Amino acid sequence: MRQSNFYRPTRQAQIGIIANFLNALQKVVRAFVPLLIVFFVNKRIELSTSIWAFVIIGAFLSLGIAYLSYRNFLFYIDEQTNSFIIQQGIINKSKVTIQLEKIQQVNLNQSFINKLINVYSVEIDSAGSKDKEATIPSMALADANVLKQILLDYKSENQSIHDTNLSESNISTEYHPIETKRISVSTLLKVGLTTNYLYTLGVILLFFNMLYDTLVNKFAIEQYVNTDEVTSYVERGVPTLIIIYLVVLLIVAILVVNVVRTFLKFWDFKAILSRETLLLSHGLLSTRNIIIRPERVQKIEVEQNYFQKLLDICSLKISQVAGEDTTNKKTGLQIPGCSAVEKEELFNILVGSAGGDYSTELKHNYRFLGFRIFLLIVLPVALFTWFFKTEFTITVYSYLIFTYCFVVGLVLYRLYRVGRLYVSDSFIVIRKGVWDVSHIYIQPHKIQKIVVSQLWWQQSADVGSLQIYTAGGIISFSTTRYSELVQLRDKWLYQVESTALNWM
């Protein structure tokens, strides 16, 4: 069996040239798409000759880029500096150096192209970075497992001299699962039918808007459609039955798109507990393998809406160390379709039991609702009235204003009623949401910084806001009792200083 030595400059798997070629080819094709569209629309030159010319040029460019990328890509472990080094680049050469003790995750993933040729990409994340620190695009599974094992098991304090011929026989490359949990097809179907309605609606509307713009502006569809008849038909009033058909069609489209997206992303979802770590594996066209180490988990968000509550499913979003950029999403890991029992089991693995009594419960002061009504209803309505009232009839204007105030008012009231801050000795929990209600859990010893603030006009009402900074992001709770927040801040700071537990 082929031996692997990562303590001297090493190249990717040779078959990875094919993956590099296909990836480069699709980039070249995308770059030439505007020219191809011009040729097809204008038809000023012979299309067959042009297409073959583009294919040949694109193939040669892609092949050259693929080979040079492979030749110039080197990675190795530098024992003198205890670091992992990647050198890459065709024209602009770059060198990435990662301290081994700072490596947080090593994930093995397969894109659709990688699946075709059976290679894996190795993604390395380290503390303090907001993006993937480094990626090795193409490695054989056995070699990728060996490298992952070395990087994750490295300890700088007892680092010893390694054998220069490291093979699969002397390093375990397999996970030995203690327990494996899978998400069934029926559960994935439930997840797809109960999530992301607004997001998918926005995507569909954007798609049809782009399609309409293309048909009107690029292909001059008005030449083939009698726009006067269409306008006259709309002005006479669209039949109620057609509106119902369109609404039903839109709902069906949203559900179908949601289900397809869910299956593509979470197909064959496995959660494998092994060596005090949790390995997540999922994906249909592109497979992702992500390792979660409980000691590096910073916060957990449990999300559930009304339909999911009826079906006894929820999703878990896990945040690990994210560096200084709190908007970073790279460590946000999702486990969909958990039942109440499975959620408790995963909690026990990651952060311990979430049960127990809460000693403190805070809710929003009514000023939370009043300020947002002024900011999001009164002010926009006043501006709209000032600038656009003359553009509409009284009936249309009243309908628009009433609909806006009613919808936004319901959303704000829901936010006000749902918002809660729960505190126990082991957890800080913030509940929020409108349709999807989430509970965000953090442990006090994970806190990096606490900010309790109060505006000058809030002093007489004893109202203030809280921000908790963790390495996995910021959580906040606003417009509640300031005196309680100050007491909680002092309690949490004492817990951080006195505990023997580490934040990671």
Q: Label residue 487 by pLDDT band (50, 70, 90).
A: very high
Confidence of residue 219 (pLDDT cuts 50, 70, 90): low
Is the pLDDT higher at 432 or at 320? Answer: 432
Greater pLDDT, 211 or 463: 463
Is 344 among the domain residues?
A: yes
Domain of residue 106, CATH code: 2.30.29
State the sign of the Cα–Cα–Cα–Cα dihedral 336, 337, 340, 346: negative
Domain that holds residue 117: 16-157
pLDDT in tens, 150-185: 887 764 444 444 444 434 334 344 445 566 778 888
Instruction: Order the strands of the 463-470 sheet from edge to edge.
Output: 449-453, 463-470, 473-481
Does 67 fall in a domain? yes
* Other Cβ atoms within 10 Å of 164 Cβ, number: 10
When pLDDT is averaged across residues 375-390 and rounded to a whole number, the result is 89
On whether both 449 and 476 belong to a single domain, the answer is yes
The pLDDT of residue 209: 76
Q: Give the other-Cβ count within 10 Å of 273's Cβ.
A: 18
| Per-residue model confidence (pLDDT) at position 430 | 94
Query: Tokens 């299309």 map to which residue?
Result: 47
Residue 231 lies in a domain: yes
How far is C-alpha 407 from the geometric centre of its chain's CA atoms? 28
Do the strands 420-423 and 299-304 form a parallel or antiparallel pair, or are they unpaired?
A: unpaired
Which pLDDT value is given to residue 112? 79
Q: What is the pLDDT of residue 372?
A: 92
- My answer on whether 35 and 135 are in the same domain is yes
Residue 398 in domain? yes
Of 43-47, 60-64, 88-92, 453-457, least confident by mean pLDDT is: 43-47
> 349 falls in which pLDDT band (50, 70, 90)?
confident
- Residue 42 above 60 pLDDT? no
Chosen domain end from 395, 417, 439: 417
Of the residues 157, 176, 206, which one is the last residue of a structural domain?
A: 157
Write out pLDDT tens, residues 389-429. Answer: 778 888 888 888 999 999 999 999 999 999 999 998 889 99
Say yes or no: 84 and 198 in one domain. Answer: no
195, 333: one domain: no
Average pLDDT over residues 441-454: 91
pLDDT at 332: 56
**244 and 371 fall within a common domain:** no
Same domain, 30 and 104: yes
**What DSSP character marks residue 375?**
I
Q: Cα torsion at 254, 280, 305, 367 (round to 10°)?
A: -110
Work out the mean pLDDT of the chain and round it to a whole number.
79
Q: How far is Cα 184 from Cα 263, in angstroms, rounded to an integer?
A: 11
Residues of the chain with pLDDT > 90: what percent? 25
DSSP string, 378-406: IHHHHHHHHHHGGGS-HHHHHHHHHHHHH
Mean of pLDDT values over 301-329: 77
Query: Comparing C-alpha atoms, which of 211, 442, 237, 254 is closest to residue 347?
Result: 442
The answer to the question of residue 393 being in a domain is yes
Is residue 56 included in any domain, yes or no?
Answer: yes
| Integer Cα distance of 121 and 286 in angstroms | 11
Residue 502 predicted with pLDDT over 90: no
The fraction of the chain above a pLDDT of 70, given in percent, is 78
pLDDT bracket for residue 31 (50, 70, 90): low
Number of C-beta neighbours around residue 69 at 10 A: 22
Domain boundary among 217, 250, 266: 266
478, part of any domain: yes
CA distances from 486 to 450, 458, 483 (A): 10, 14, 5
pLDDT in the model for residue 173: 40
Q: How many helices (H) and strands (E) does the chain have?
A: 14, 20
The answer to which of 101-115, 138-152, 164-178, 211-225 has the lowest mean pLDDT is 164-178
User: What pLDDT is recorded for position 214?
Assistant: 64
Q: Which of 6-20, 168-182, 335-349, 419-433 has the highest mean pLDDT?
A: 419-433
401, 481: one domain: no
pLDDT above 90: residue 486: yes
pLDDT band at 226 (very low <50, low <70, confident <90, very high): low
In a domain, 171, yes or no: no
Q: Is the pLDDT of residue 385 over 70?
A: yes
Q: Judge if 309 and 439 occupy the same domain.
A: yes
What pLDDT is recorded for position 323?
45
Give residue 440's pLDDT band: very low, low, confident or very high (50, 70, 90).
very high
Please indicate, yes or no, whether residues 100 and 125 belong to a single structural domain of this protein: yes
- Say if residue 292 is in the same domain as residue 151: no
- Strand pairing class (437-442; 428-432): antiparallel
Higher-confidence residue: 62 or 453? 453
Instruction: Judge if 216 and 318 occupy the same domain.
Output: no
Mean pLDDT of 181-190: 87
Of 490 and 132, more confident: 490
Number of structural domains in the chain: 4
181-185: long-range contacts, CB 8 A cutoff, minimum separation 24: 181/270, 181/271, 181/272, 181/342, 181/345, 182/268, 182/269, 182/270, 182/271, 183/266, 183/269, 183/336, 183/337
Question: Residue 274: CB partners within 8 Å, gap ≥ 6?
Answer: 175, 176, 177, 178
Task: Check whether residue 125 and residue 78 sit in a common domain.
Answer: yes
- Spatial separation of the C-alpha atoms in residues 141 and 334, rounded to whole Å: 24
Residue 490: per-residue pLDDT: 92
